[in-house]
Amino acid sequence: MLRSNPGLALCILIALAAICFALFSGDPYYVQVVIWVFANAVLAVTLRFVLLIGELNIATAAFFGIGAYATAVASTIYDLPFFISLLAAPVIAGLVSALFGWITLRTKGPYFLLISFAFTEIVRLFYTKSEFLGGNSGMIGMFPPMVLNDYYPAIAITLLAAILFGLYLTERSNLGRVFKAIQNNEDIPRSVGLNVIGLKILCFVIASTAVGLAGGVHAYTNSVIAPADFTFFVAVLALAYVKIGGEGHIIGPIIGAATLTLAGQFLHSFGPYENIFYGAIIIGVLLLMPGGIIGLGKGFIGSSTVRRDPH
Amino acid sequence: MTSSETTMHSSDTGTAAGKVLLKAERLERKFGGLTAVADFSFELREGEILGLIGPNGAGKSTTFNLISGFMPPTSGQLFFLDENITSKNATYISRKGLIRTFQHESLLSEMSVADNIIIATTHRLKTTAARQEKMRKIAGLTGLENYLDVPAGSLPHGLQRMLSIAIALAAEPKVLCLDEPLTGLQGVEVSAALDLFEMIRSKLGITILLVEHNMRAVMRICDRILVLNHGRLLAAGTPEEVSQNELVIEAYLGHKK
Ligand SMILES: Nc1ncnc2c1ncn2[C@@H]1O[C@H](COP(=O)(O)OP(=O)(O)O)[C@@H](O)[C@H]1O
Ligand SMILES: [Mg+2]
């Protein structure tokens, strides 16, 4: 696939070089930025993953938070070991999303979008009201074990990259084809024996489990989490990453997340004007490049934006 | 008579009409105040091509939605392969072997021809190789083998109709329900499609329920014809019987005289 796709291969190479630079530079700030890029890429890619079945999933922010809180509770309240606390994130996010999807994905129309928005805000309010979860100030003290401390950034990046790669493989599999068919015209898959509602729930659970794990990684990366980290705005930003990178291929949201996260680091220096610049970039890109960055590079990236399976 | 009695009786006679595969009893469907299908009973027998005709709005597509589980009937009963499927959903019924096509939006317009067909093999075949093989075979049967990578939405109209049949065939139906498959086809395409239907019945052993407006085609290919009018069964019989039926001529063919 990479051989037929020099543009994509080059992108991956640049990314790998950047990661190596960050990890070996020894500067914790660079390391932090690389992890942010990957975490934001997972947010964007999981948002796009549910777009495959035609649903805009604001709750991707909620499940990022549920994963983070699951890990925080497991590690700071129950003192569970590092990897088990991390594992709690995708497991809890997956279970909650299965129930949420089972209830909400039966209806057609804009309901899912609205309910996923409401759910995100309700879960966040719940954190602020829950003393157990630290209320407004959130939870603190999620540290990787001493022996792993030096390796934690590498572990975090590997996990996040593995999530991205796993979602990429899923999209390329027959399951990904079925998800796209559901978006295109769900009566057709239904008429040939596919359980469309079950498949929609599956798509949603896969994305939520993935973003839940990213939430767990986020908890250990930051050591501090608070309800304000998981508002619906997280999903709005993820949507911006998707739109700016381009949604025709999974590499789009990854490029979008990298571009905006890095731009955000420079814009910090503008202080209170940061968000204005941020907004201007987003609007500018959306107006000037309707296909996103990968839309611009279509000739360059070549076949990566249009799927051509070897039939 | 129960459905099993019917089955035994018909297999005793051993005529062209085989056992009853699909049976509708007093089917009714209302949309608010409108009754789209009313008191409609019929049997589909193994190996036949049964026509379902009637003016626009007669309730033909609604009947398809009812028998395929896309919509529940307001009242009445449905039996498929000796099982009561009245309250079963579309996934269940299509897995059991009743596959319907759609009059409108009958394919995945944004996906390639190959992907359209592969989607339909997904439930029955579990390996990529088996799905590919099946897809190629079906594409060959329906004349789509040279268009595998083309997005379905940009196929010429006639090939789009063929693709919707290919999708249905790839799902391995026992009963194939075609909703106006000939609409918009040119003369040559019509006779090619009729040859295909005949082949589907005789070589593949698939029983066909055909909704179609092209009268000449229906008369030529169907063994029996049901005529719906305002949701009710107006007449049933062989093409000759139906075309000579006074009520049918008046309600349906009248304006052509
Ligand atoms: N989903 C629906 N909601 C409301 N009315 C419908 C619906 N589907 C069909 N109808 C109505 O039922 C009647 C029969 O329609 P249909 O079965 O599509 O007819 P045909 O396929 O014979 O042309 C028409 O009056 C149509 O307007
Ligand atoms: Mg119709």
- Local mean pLDDT, 10-residue blocks, chain A (311 residues): 62 74 77 91 97 96 98 97 97 98 88 94 97 94 89 91 94 96 97 97 98 97 96 92 89 90 81 76 80 70 42 42
Give the pLDDT of residue A212: 98
Q: How many Å lie between the alpha carbon of A107 and the closest alpha carbon of chain B?
A: 15
Give the pLDDT of residue B254: 57
DSSP reduced 3-state for B105: coil
Whether B59 is in the pocket of ligand 1, judged by its Cβ within 6 Å, is: yes
Q: How far is the CA of B22 from the centre of ligand 1 (A)?
A: 22
Q: State whether B132 and A189 contact (CB < 8 Å).
A: no
Q: How far is the CA of B74 from the centre of ligand 1 (A)?
A: 14
| A191 neighbourhood in chain B, CB within 8 Å | 68, 70, 90, 94, 99-102, 167-168, 171
- Strand partners for A39: none
Choose the mutation target among B66, B108, B163 for the interface with A, i.e. most A CBs under 10 Å: B108
| Residue with CA closest to ligand 1 atom 7 | B31
- Between B186 and A4, the higher pLDDT residue: B186
Give the pLDDT of residue A262: 87
pLDDT tens-place string over residues B9-56: 333 333 456 899 999 999 999 999 999 999 999 999 999 999 999 999
Give the pLDDT of residue A248: 87
* Domains of chain A by residue range: 6-231
Give the pLDDT of residue A16: 78
Examine the pLDDT at B173 and tell me if it is beyond 90: yes
Torsion over CA: A82, A83, A86, A92 (sign): negative
Q: State whether B124 and A193 contact (CB < 8 Å).
A: yes
* Mean local confidence (pLDDT), B193-203: 96
Q: Is A189 on the interface with B (CB under 8 A)?
A: yes
**How far is B197 from A27, CA to CA, in rounded Å?**
71
Q: State whether B108 and A185 contact (CB < 8 Å).
A: yes
Q: State whether B116 and A309 contact (CB < 8 Å).
A: no
- Between B148 and A246, the higher pLDDT residue: B148
Give the pLDDT of residue A3: 57
The complex's ipTM works out to: 0.90
CATH 3.40.50.300 in chain B: give the residue spans: 10-97+173-255
C-alpha dist (Å) from residue B172 to A40, B94, B98, B169: 44, 9, 9, 5
pLDDT tens-place string over residues B93-128: 999 999 999 999 999 999 999 999 999 999 999 999
Considering the domain B10-97+173-255 in this protein, what is its CATH number?
3.40.50.300
> Which one of the ligands is nearest to B65 CA?
1
Predicted TM-score (pTM) of the model is 0.90
Alpha-helical (H) ranges within chain B are: 3-13, 60-67, 90-96, 113-121, 128-141, 157-170, 187-202, 215-221, 239-244, 246-248
Q: State whether B111 and A184 contact (CB < 8 Å).
A: yes
pLDDT tens-place string over residues B70-88: 999 999 999 999 999 999 9
Q: Which atom of ligand 1 is nearest to the CA of B103?
A: 21
